[in-house]
Amino acid sequence: MNSKYMFSLIAVIVLISLAYVGVEAAGLQVIFGIVIPYMAVLIFIVGFIYRVMDWASSPVPFRIPSTCGQQKSLPWIKHSKIDNPFTAGGVIVRMFFEILFFRSLFRNTKCRINEGAKISYIWEKWLWLASLAFHYSFLTVLIRHLRFFLEPVPVCLQLLENVDSFFQVGLPGLFLSGAVLLASVTFLFLRRIYIPQIRYISLAADFFPLFLIISIATTGILMRYFTKVNIVGVKEFAMGFATLHPTVPDGIGSLFYVHLFLVSVLFAYFPFSKLMHMGGIFLSPTRNLPNNNRAERHINPWNPSVKIHTYEEYEDEFREKMIEAGLPVEKES
Partner 1 sequence: MNDKSKIIAGLIIFVIFITFPFWYNMGKAAPVPEPKLTDKAKLEKECVEPKQFMKVEHMQILDVWRESVVRNASRTYVSKTGKKFNMSLASGDDSCIGCHSSKVDFCDKCHNYASVRPYCWTCHIEPPKEKK
Enumerate binding residues for partner 1 (CB under 8 A): 44-45, 48-49, 52-53, 55-57, 59-61, 146-153, 157-158, 161-162, 168, 170-172, 228-232, 235-236, 239-240, 242-245, 251, 279, 282-283, 298, 301
Query: Which residue stretches of 117-169 are H helix?
Result: 126-144, 155-164
- CB-wise, 6 or 150, nearer to partner 1? 150
- CB-wise, 214 or 258, nearer to partner 1? 258
Nearest to 83 by CA among 74, 73, 93: 93
- CB-wise, 10 or 232, nearer to partner 1? 232
Closest approach of partner 1 to the CB of residue 151, in Å: 4
CA 265 to each of CA 23, 125, 188, 230: distance values in angstroms, whole numbers, following the listed order: 16, 31, 20, 23
- Residues 243, 253: Cα–Cα separation, whole Å: 22
- Residues 62, 114: Cα–Cα separation, whole Å: 40
- CB-wise, 272 or 314, nearer to partner 1? 272
- CB-wise, 51 or 319, nearer to partner 1? 51
Tell me the three-class secondary structure of 25-81, residue by residue.
CCCCHHHHHHHHHHHHHHHHHHHHHHHHHHHHCCCCCCCCCCCCCCCCCCCCCCCCC
Closest approach of partner 1 to the CB of residue 106, in Å: 25
Closest approach of partner 1 to the CB of residue 220, in Å: 15
- Residues 252, 275: Cα–Cα separation, whole Å: 30
Closest approach of partner 1 to the CB of residue 109, in Å: 32
- CB-wise, 300 or 333, nearer to partner 1? 300
- Residues 69, 90: Cα–Cα separation, whole Å: 13
Closest approach of partner 1 to the CB of residue 60, in Å: 5
Closest approach of partner 1 to the CB of residue 170, in Å: 7
